[in-house]
Amino acid sequence: MKKGTLLVSGKKTYQIVGLNGKDLVLVETSGNYDQVLIYGPEELWSLIEENRFELVGEGKKKSGGKK
């Protein structure tokens, strides 16, 4: 997972906005940035496998530039 990836938990949508060391930092997309969720990559994958989060969109890929 990379920056920009979207995940849904219940009625809330979260986006990965960066890293804290090796951990992933998620914020709710409603714009309430005063609280974040921080998970290790393995922990987040485990939560996805347990259906506590649903992966709904991958992060943006860098474009190759102008042609």
Is 53 within the bounds of a domain? yes
Q: How many residues does the chain have?
A: 67
The tens place of each residue's pLDDT in the chain, 67 residues long, gives: 899 999 999 999 999 999 999 999 999 998 767 889 999 999 999 999 999 999 998 876 554 555 4
Task: Work out the number of other CB atoms within 10 angstroms of the CB of residue 49.
Answer: 9
Is 63 within the bounds of a domain? no
Tokens 């996805």 belong to which residue? 48
Is 65 within the bounds of a domain? no
The domain of 16 spans: 6-57
Please tell me the total count of domains within the chain. 1
